[in-house]
């Protein structure tokens, strides 16, 4: 039996769970079958256990580049070691990615979401 409006669960493809971050610093994932997400929210926790960054990408996009934070004056790059990255897939009724605001972080607006988290080495 298939559930209507079921949102697929993100699964890491590069790096696979537990592997090193690739040299191009791009996280890639796919989703199990289901309704397409409106957007993905990607969170990264550095090797020190502190949040390092978050990024939004369109629902039809399944990759996100890890920024090199050291290119910003007086900012250090993400702390190396075992990092955690999380991909949320989200749907919101009437959503338009071009009008994305931080208001859309309010889970009360989400009609459906799924997420998965992965560990990797940086």
Q: What is the pLDDT of residues 64-119, one digit of tens each?
A: 999 998 999 998 899 999 999 999 999 999 999 999 998 999 999 999 999 999 99
> Rounded to a whole number, what is the distance in angstroms from the first to the last CA of the chain?
40
pLDDT of residue 6: 82
CATH number of 10-121: 2.60.40.10
Q: Name the 3-class secondary structure at 7.
A: strand
3-state secondary structure of 72: coil
Percent of the chain with pLDDT over 70: 96
Contact (Cβ atoms closer than 8 angstroms) between residue 113 and residue 88: yes
Tell me: cis bond preceding 15? Omega within 30 of 0 counts.
yes
**Domain spans in the chain, listed from the N-terminal domain onward:** 10-121
pTM of the model: 0.91
């Amino acid at each position: 039996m298939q559930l209507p409006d079921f949102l697929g669960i993100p699964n890491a493809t590069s790096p696979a769970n537990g592997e090193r971050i690739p040299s191009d610093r791009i996280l890639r994932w796919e989703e199990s079958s289901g309704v397409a997400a409106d957007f993905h929210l990607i969170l990264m926790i550095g090797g020190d256990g502190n949040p390092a960054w978050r990024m939004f990408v369109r629902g039809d996009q399944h990759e996100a580049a890890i920024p090199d934070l050291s290119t910003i004056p007086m900012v250090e790059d993400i702390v190396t070691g075992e990092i955690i990255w999380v991909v949320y897939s989200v749907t919101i009724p009437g959503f338009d990615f071009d009008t994305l605001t931080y208001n859309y972080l309010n889970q009360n607006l989400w009609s459906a979401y799924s997420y998965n988290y992965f560990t990797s080495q940086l």
